[in-house]
């Protein structure tokens, strides 16, 4: 038996070496620019890890310019037994765009910058490598158009449009993926297909929420809206308040945003950091309309301010500045993050809110750089059936995002325990844990179940049909059906 085991290990190692030897010439023939593990400056220039707590070394990073090159790269990887993942903006919290583990073939989509606008129906074609800052500018320049998406300018369309795409206008117009009408997709067998509600419907359903496990989108066709006109950016803050004062303010905010009759034109976020609560957001309308809401009366004791924006680009720029202050402007760092959804039925009770704030104030946090973000959702996104797309959490009213950053090295166990405790209290008595698939948490033992909920079985069935060998995979992507 020992001799047989040794022989099998030797054959396996030999196969791996042979596979690696075959991969390099195949990729060099498939694409003009490709880098391999061991190349000079590979880790610093070509790999670009985002979360430094999860170092990843892909077997190769390829930089295609056409869908045909993407197809050829996928074939090279699949034929030699390598997993494949696409990277657009590179903001994956687990570095899943690089594979999430060592040895994948990463496809960097930054060259896919195509853009066009049909001025008859105002549908736009957007390349999957386009960063959100450029999405905003190009839509603006093409006729004053807009679509819902997040506020971080460095995020890429390829991941954002296919994982959800939350943002300030999502309550009015739906998430980014709700704007996608059609997509060009490279499948695991290398075929290039168009996916929509009328062709390759299963592929289309899967990529609207879980694309990283099913294919690589090279371009999107999206619906657009006229840019919002006048908007009011507001903020109410309570600094250095007591535990009970901050808990009381949170209760007032939660009660306000959970009103089912609240206008869809209002976006709101509550951010909790050391000794402070900040309620901020945007009202998409005139200052007179905003004043009529009398938001300030809802939050007594908080200092308020409001700024009117007439320029859509100016407002989007303001959002980007706020994100830069919270997340470091997309700079790689050691951090830990979690997310969980609160529905209208699973909001924290007043007693739980008191427990929550007592925990935050009296538990070792391990760093001064932590913050908890409660993002108000609902509106349009709640009107769509949970099984209409693979994105499952249509009933989310508030998304809680928690972050802990360490500027000195790896995130500590104290930081991890603190955030885990925060989430445990916020999700108390839930039947099933729900996590936003765009904020991946590699520590989740049941990631697929948390990300895709009741839609996971259908995803696994589609996976078995179009990617039975699990070519497109990361540590938490759906697996083929058994």
Given the candidates 3.30.43.10, 3.40.190.80, 3.40.50.720, 3.40.50.1260, the CATH classification of the domain at 2-108 is 3.30.43.10
Domains 2-108 and 231-453 share a fold: no
Residue ranges per domain, the chain?
2-108, 231-453
Range 88-104 burial, b when 16+ CB lie within 10 A, else e: bbbbbbbbbbbbbbebb
Dihedral (C-alpha) 49, 415, 377, 132: value to the nearest 10 degrees? -20
Please give the DSSP secondary-structure letter assigned to residue 469.
Answer: T
Q: How far is Cα 79 from Cα 25, in angstroms, rounded to an integer? A: 13
* pLDDT tens digits in sequence order for the chain, 482 residues long: 444 333 433 434 344 445 667 999 999 999 999 999 999 999 988 999 999 999 999 999 999 999 999 999 999 999 999 999 999 998 999 999 999 999 999 999 999 999 999 999 999 999 999 999 999 999 999 999 999 999 999 999 999 999 999 999 999 999 999 999 999 999 999 999 999 999 999 999 999 999 999 999 999 999 999 999 899 999 999 887 799 999 999 999 999 999 999 999 999 999 999 888 999 999 999 999 999 999 989 998 788 899 999 999 998 998 887 776 565 556 899 999 999 999 999 999 999 999 999 999 999 999 999 999 999 999 999 999 999 999 999 999 999 999 999 999 999 999 999 999 999 999 977 668 999 999 999 999 999 999 999 999 999 999 999 999 999 999 999 999 97
Q: How many CA atoms lie within 13 A of 380 on its CB side?
A: 19
Helix pair angle (456-466, 201-210), 10° resolution:
120
The closest of 428, 250, 433, 243 to 350, measured between CA atoms, is 250
Domain 231-453 belongs in CATH node 3.40.462.20: yes
φ, ψ for residue 24 (rounded to 5)? -60, -55
Q: How far is Cα 370 from Cα 364, in angstroms, rounded to an integer? A: 12
Contact 185, 217 (CB under 8 A): yes
Q: Provide the terminal-to-terminal Cα distance of the chain, rounded to the nearest Å.
A: 30
pTM beyond 0.85, yes or no? yes
Range 386-405 burial, b when 16+ CB lie within 10 A, else e: eeebbbbbbbbbbbbbbbbb
Helix pair angle (2-30, 67-79), 10° resolution:
170
Contact 166, 175 (CB under 8 A): yes
């Amino acid at each position: 038996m020992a001799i047989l085991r040794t022989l099998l290990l030797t054959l396996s190692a030999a196969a791996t070496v042979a596979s690696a030897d075959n991969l390099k010439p195949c990729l060099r023939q498939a694409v003009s620019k490709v880098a391999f593990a061991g190349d000079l400056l590979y880790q610093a220039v070509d790999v670009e890890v985002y979360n430094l707590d999860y170092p990843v070394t892909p077997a190769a990073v390829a930089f295609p310019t056409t869908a045909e090159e993407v197809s050829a790269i996928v074939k090279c990887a699949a034929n030699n037994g390598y997993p494949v993942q696409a990277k657009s903006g590179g903001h994956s919290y687990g570095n899943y765009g690089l594979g999430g583990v060592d040895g994948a073939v990463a496809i960097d989509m930054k060259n896919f910058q195509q853009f066009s606008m049909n001025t008859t129906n105002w549908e736009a074609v957007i390349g999957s490598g386009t960063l959100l800052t450029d999405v905003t500018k190009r839509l603006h320049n093409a006729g004053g158009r807009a679509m819902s998406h997040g506020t971080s300018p460095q995020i890429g369309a390829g991941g954002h449009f296919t994982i959800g795409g939350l943002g300030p206008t999502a309550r009015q117009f739906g998430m980014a993926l709700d704007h996608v009408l059609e997509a060009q997709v490279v499948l695991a067998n290398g075929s290039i297909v168009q996916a929509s509600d009328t062709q390759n419907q299963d592929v289309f359903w899967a990529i609207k929420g879980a694309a990283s496990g099913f294919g690589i989108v090279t371009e999107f066709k999206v619906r657009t809206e006229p840019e919002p006109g006048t908007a009011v950016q507001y903020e109410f803050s309570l600094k250095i308040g007591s535990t009970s004062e901050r808990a009381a303010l949170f209760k007032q905010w939660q009660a306000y945003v959970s009103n089912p009759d609240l206008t869809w034109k209002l976006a709101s976020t509550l951010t909790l950091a050391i000794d402070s609560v900040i309620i901020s957001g945007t009202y998409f309308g005139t200052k007179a309309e905003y004043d009529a809401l009398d938001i300030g009366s809802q939050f007594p004791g908080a200092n308020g301010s409001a700024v009117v924006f007439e320029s859509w680009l100016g407002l989007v720029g303001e959002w980007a500045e706020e994100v830069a202050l919270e997340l470091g402007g997309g700079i790689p760092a050691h951090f830990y993050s979690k997310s969980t959804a609160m529905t209208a039925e699973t909001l924290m009770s007043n007693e739980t809110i008191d427990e929550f704030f007592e925990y935050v104030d009296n538990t070792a946090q391990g760093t001064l750089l932590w913050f908890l973000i409660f993002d108000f959702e609902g509106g349009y996104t709640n009107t769509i059936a949970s099984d209409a797309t693979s994105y499952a959490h249509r009933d989310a009213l508030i998304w809680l995002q928690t972050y802990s950053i360490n500027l000195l090295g790896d995130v500590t166990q104290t930081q991890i325990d603190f955030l885990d405790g925060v989430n445990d209290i916020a999700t108390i008595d839930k039947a099933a844990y729900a996590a936003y698939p765009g904020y991946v948490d590699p520590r989740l033992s049941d990631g697929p179940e948390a990300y895709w909920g009741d839609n996971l079985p259908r995803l696994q069935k589609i996976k078995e049909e179009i990617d039975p060998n699990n070519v497109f995979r990361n540590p938490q992507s759906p697996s083929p059906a058994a």
